[in-house]
Amino acid sequence: MSHRTGQGRSLSPWRPGQSAASPDAASSAASHDAPSALPRLCVVGLGKLGSPIAACLAAKGFTVVGVDTDPAKIDAIKQGKSPVFEPGLDEMLARTAGRLTATADLAAATHATDVTFIIVPTPSEADGGFSLRFALPACRTIGQALRSKETPHLVVMTSTVMPGATDGPLRQALEQSSGRRCGDGWGLCYSPEFVALGSVIRDFLSPDFLLIGQSDAASGDRLESILRQTVENKPAVARVDSVNAELTKLAVNTFVTTKITYANMIAEICHRLPGANVDQVTAALGLDTRIGAKYLRGAVGYGGPCFPRDNAALSSLARELGAQARLAEVVDQTNRHGVQRIADLVYSHLPSGPTRGRVAVLGLSYKPHTDVTEQSQGLLLARTLADAGLDVTVFDPAAMNNAKAVLHDAVKYAADLRQAVEAGDVVVAITPWEEFKTIEPTWLSRPASPRVLIDCWRYLDAAALSAVTNYVPLGIGPEAPAAEAIDRSLRVA
């Protein structure tokens, strides 16, 4: 892996509005009512991150050309419709005022714009690293367009990549296909977004900080200016070279997963300790400024498309370098144990008998407000229980179709929340969707044989549900013994 810092010649002064014109749709869209003070932007990849980011940029006044190989996504953007499931995206698209269009022609889009953001998939490899099989072809096409482009251009890698990738294979692809060295008419930055599906728009517009890995100061200045004009808060900015930005991206997410896992460890201890309450413990922990309250909820493991793989990628990098990353490895192992921990809790509450009881799993997306089931704790729990021979019914407000593609006929799919609840002897609320707060106590009521409700996030109406079920809040220990009993045991000792 190359750690070259990109000390090429500085780019010529940035002159917005001087991009080469092209007669195609991308070019005409990029010149449509383009504000003279703003650079024109290209967003490559209109998936779950690219579409919301393109919409946000266009809503803030930038003229944006989205690029994708999927005709359905291109057509949706052209029609002002969301091509992906993301809360608030339709509303954001409505605010773009004709400044956002889409095309499959990346070369034309590069010619028609001043800055290209690459937001393509970088799938995990078997060793934990990230593949560049989509990023490299994009860079080659961009580079070919830069070969004949007379105005300065900035290429921004936004997808998560391994440290050394931006200033290594990606820069090399751009240089070889353009016939120009980095700094000769074009610059290169690595700038990942710290966003979560379900809140991409909010997180993008109000980031905790901006991370810019720059090939040179002029490129960093240009990118920072664009981001400053887009965000709605005043975040700190970390400007470093690309390899340190790439490592920071992995380090941030690995630290967060460590914090989540630590809180879950405390929750497991609290669940077994009479009188213990994880919410009281973590609330006190969060008051220490060295720790902070974020990600200390104490519930189930992390999932999704970023946290698990970024943690694995840092471990992979350490192994490649001959360094140790045992903490990251243990965090990953502990997180994987979390599903079995919930499964064991379910087994302990199943009714006895030949049928072994029925289980309802509420929540299949890895978090609320998204349909993504990748590494979802709910989906993994449903599969674990089904593999154990249990009768499992599942429900999720958004992720049913994606879950069916994974679970197939191993489980039953409820038509609505009530049907799911009524199908279980043990009901597990594992993803904290707000919709689950609408569970009616009457759905759970079964006097002759009370159902068990496992509330993994302790966010349901405990008082109402305890009256009709065996309510089990994860992370809350059994009732503490009376003080007199404790005193007697001390005297005997």
Active site residues: 306
In angstroms, the Cα distances linking 371 to 253, 410, 418 are 21, 20, 20
pLDDT at 447: 85
Question: What's the pLDDT score for residue 355?
Answer: 62
**pLDDT at site 18:** 33
Q: Rounded to an integer, what distance in angstroms lies between the CA atom of residue 394 and that of residue 23?
A: 52
* Pairwise CA distance, residues 366 & 463, whole Å: 27
For residue range 124-180, what is the model confidence (pLDDT) as tens digits? 999 999 999 999 999 999 999 999 999 999 999 999 999 999 999 999 999 999 999
pTM of the model: 0.88
Q: What is the pLDDT of residue 2?
A: 38
DSSP string, 426-488: EEEE-S--GGGGG--HHHH--TTS--EEEETTS-S-HHHHHTTSEEEETTBPPPPPPHHHHHH
pLDDT of residue 353: 63
- Stretches in the chain below the pLDDT threshold 70: 1-36, 353-355, 482-493
Domains along the sequence of the chain with CATH: 25-240 (3.40.50.720), 350-473 (3.40.50.720)
